[in-house]
Structure formats: structure tokens, C-alpha cells
């Protein structure tokens, strides 16, 4: 019976030694809570910085690419307008004639005017978009 009581006393003593101190637990909990708040603040700062980086880097790229796209489409429309204008100039005497050739000439004139308008409007929009900040 004495050995049993001695063993129980030793087990209680071992548990008491390994049990955490309540004061130390509170301090550790406060330190962990502080680190968690610091991590949240750091994460929010990283997100905010990422958004600002995106605005600073990607906004000019998007603007430049939209201006470039308008200039490329203006060039493409200009090629069609130049082609139609060349045909109209070389066949300008067909505009006074009769029949199917005259109808075709007027269609090409309309194509020249339409693609010329698209060319000019594309470059005007590109210039306006390039000046905006």
C-alpha cells in the first residue's frame, strides 16, 4: 500500500513539474496574439502594395496597348483606303460613263470614303487616348 501511494505522489509531482504556469501561458498567448495582428497588418499591406503596383505598372501598359491597337487598325484601314483611292484615281473617267463600270466606280468611291473616315477617326482616337493621363 505504501508503494502505491508513493507512486501516486511521484506521478502528481511529475505532472506538477510539466504543467504550464498560468502566468507564462497568458504571456505566451498575448505574444501570439500580437504576432497574429502583426501578420494581419503585414498581409493587408502586401495586398494594398500589390494593388498599387498593379496600377503603377499595368495601367500604363494597358493605355499604351490600346493606343497601339488604334494605330494598327488605322494603318490597316489606311491600306484599304489607299487601295480604293488609287483605283478611283486611275479610273476616274469611269465615273462619267454608263453601265456596270460606273456602278462599280461609285462603290469603290464609297469604300474609299468609308475607309478613309475609319483611318482618320482611328488616329484621332489614338491621339486623344495618348494625351489622357
Residues 6+ apart with CB under 8 A from 106: 95
d(CA 77, CA 130): 20
Which pLDDT belongs to residue 100?
A: 64
Which pLDDT belongs to residue 84?
A: 93
Whether 119 contacts 71, CB under 8 Å: no
Q: Where are the domains of the chain?
A: 2-131
Which pLDDT belongs to residue 80?
A: 95
For 112, what's the count of Cα atoms within 13 Å in the CB-facing half-sphere? Answer: 15
Task: Write out pLDDT tens, residues 30-76.
Answer: 777 777 788 788 888 888 888 888 888 888 888 888 999 999 999 99
Which pLDDT belongs to residue 24?
A: 59
Cell of residue 73, nine digits: 487598325
Residue carrying C-alpha cell 461609285: 106
Which pLDDT belongs to residue 20?
A: 65
pTM over 0.75: no
Amino acid at each position: 500500500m505504501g508503494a502505491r501511494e508513493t507512486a501516486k505522489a511521484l506521478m502528481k509531482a511529475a505532472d506538477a513539474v510539466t504543467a504550464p504556469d498560468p502566468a507564462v501561458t497568458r504571456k505566451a498567448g498575448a505574444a501570439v496574439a500580437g504576432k497574429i495582428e502583426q501578420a494581419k497588418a503585414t498581409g493587408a499591406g502586401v495586398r494594398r502594395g500589390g494593388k498599387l503596383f498593379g496600377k503603377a505598372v499595368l495601367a500604363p501598359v494597358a493605355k499604351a496597348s490600346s493606343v497601339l491597337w488604334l494605330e494598327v487598325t488605322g494603318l490597316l484601314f489606311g491600306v484599304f483606303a489607299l487601295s480604293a483611292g488609287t483605283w478611283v484615281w486611275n479610273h476616274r473617267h469611269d465615273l462619267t460613263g454608263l453601265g456596270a463600270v460606273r456602278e462599280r466606280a461609285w462603290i469603290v468611291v464609297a469604300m474609299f470614303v468609308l475607309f478613309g473616315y475609319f483611318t482618320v477617326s482611328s488616329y484621332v482616337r489614338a491621339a486623344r487616348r495618348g494625351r489622357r493621363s
